[in-house]
Structure formats: structure tokens, C-alpha cells
Amino acid sequence: MNKTFLGVIRMSYLQLKLEAWIDDVNREDSITLQLFEKFLNLLFNFIKWAGIPFVVYLLFEISRW
């Protein structure tokens, strides 16, 4: 096999993967959107629970002025 033929195979493989991902994103029960939802929920909870002690610390520091 020559290099051009292997390049065409790789490109068609990537194109098939991209089309499958686009089809998944366009579905209502998309796996990609579920992963984004889970990630954003974790990020929100981390910011919320890390932010509460920081705000308490800021209030404590302000009260010492």
C-alpha cells in the first residue's frame, strides 16, 4: 500500500467518526451532551463548595478592619 492510500483511509475514518459525533450531538439524548452536563454540574458544585469558605474568610477579614 502506498502512503496516499493510507492517508485516504485515515481521512475517511476520521470523517466517519466526525459524522457520528455530529449525529450524536444532534440527538436529544446525546451522550456528548450528557457528558457536558455531568462535567458542568461537577464544576458548579466545586465552585460552590470552594467558594463558600472563601466568602466566609473574606467576611472574617473585613470584620477585622
Confidence check: pLDDT of 63 > 90:
yes
Cell 477579614 sits on residue: 61
Q: What is the pTM of this model?
A: 0.61
Domain boundaries, the chain: 3-63
Confidence of residue 5 (pLDDT cuts 50, 70, 90): low
- Which of 60, 51, 62, 17 minimizes the C-alpha distance to 9? 17
8 Å CB contact between 39 and 46: no
What's CA 13's distance to the chain center, in Å?
23
Confidence of residue 10 (pLDDT cuts 50, 70, 90): confident
Q: pLDDT tens digits, residue range 17-55?
A: 999 999 999 998 899 999 999 999 999 999 999 898 899
In this structure, how many other beta carbons lie within 10 angstroms of the beta carbon of residue 8? 11
8 Å CB contact between 24 and 32: yes
